[in-house]
Amino acid sequence: MINALTVDVEDNHRIVARNMLGLEGPPEDAVVGNTHRLLELFRAHAVRGTFFVLGEIAAKFPELVRAIADEDHEIGVHGFYHMEVHRISAERFRREIGDAKALLEDLSGKAVRGHRAPSFSITPATRWALDILADLGLHYDSSIFPFKGRRYGWPGFPRDSHRMVLSEGRSIIEAPLSTVQVWGRRIPACGGGYLRYFPHWYTDWAIRHVQRERPAIVYMHPYDIDTRPPPAWLNDALRAGGNPARFYRTHQQWWRRTVESKLRRLLTRYQFAPLGEVIDRVLAADSEAGGS
């Protein structure tokens, strides 16, 4: 079984500042170094993946997009300013995805086929976003977490990658994030916070469990492997605003020390490919089997 390796390329400190403090500002250099560390790690294991890049990262660090594309990884789009879909209008969503996609295509010299929404924010309430993605020529989306979550999720959504029929003859392929079934309930697995906070055996068990039936979709961020404390300006601003800066610091940083070694073990043990290629393989097998 060949699983999908995906990275959401963003500056987490800037997103925290924007969402918690209303402070706007350009992404900082840390994302460049962290992404290069991931690129090195993937190179060392001869693995290719999909990098869903924010428009604001591509605008500030065009060389980073070229470096990712030069190593034959797939480039996808992750929005422009990391605005969750339910927080913006349909018009703004259309404009920002269109702008980010055009910029990424220009820099990479390749068509962008895939999209991942910030914070998995395509849910039954924001289903309209899929129509816009189809209009913009996206081939697939990988934003739906098929479980009942507190902040996100689409309970009961099919767990296999499949073509979704949308309005007025449109369609798009949805590649839902991986979940495991435990005591009759679906729980998320295989990435991000789950990779940070859960012990290695959990992710290892989850991938084995998922790939019995379908490819696992592993996801991470460049900052997941950054063990440095947040910048002073962010800590100061959080403290001044009465926000739990200390909690943010310990909550995130302590666990990040464990991520790189977990990742090395996963890259050694399992096979990975870019998500676009994994989807093509799944759909080709379906049509051979006479499926839909």
* Interface with Zn ion (CB under 5 A): 8, 10, 118
What's the Cα-to-Cα distance from 291 to each of 24, 162, 163, 178, 282, rounded to whole Å? 48, 10, 11, 21, 11
In the complex, minimum distance from the CB of residue 78 to Zn ion, in angstroms, rounded to a whole number: 6
In the complex, minimum distance from the CB of residue 289 to Zn ion, in angstroms, rounded to a whole number: 34
Q: How many CB atoms lie within 10 A of CB 95?
A: 14
Measured from the CB atom, the residue of 10 and 74 that comes closer to Zn ion is 10
Measured from the CB atom, the residue of 11 and 282 that comes closer to Zn ion is 11
> Do 180 and 187 touch, CB atoms closer than 8 A?
yes
Distance CA 285, CA 274 (A): 17
Structure-token match 């989807």, residue found = 279
In the complex, minimum distance from the CB of residue 54 to Zn ion, in angstroms, rounded to a whole number: 7
Question: What's the angle, vertex CA 101, arms to CA 20 and CA 18, rounded to 5?
Answer: 10
In the complex, minimum distance from the CB of residue 184 to Zn ion, in angstroms, rounded to a whole number: 30
Measured from the CB atom, the residue of 10 and 56 that comes closer to Zn ion is 10
Which tokens hold the place of 161?
């990658």
Residue nearest to Zn ion (CB): 8
Measured from the CB atom, the residue of 118 and 191 that comes closer to Zn ion is 118
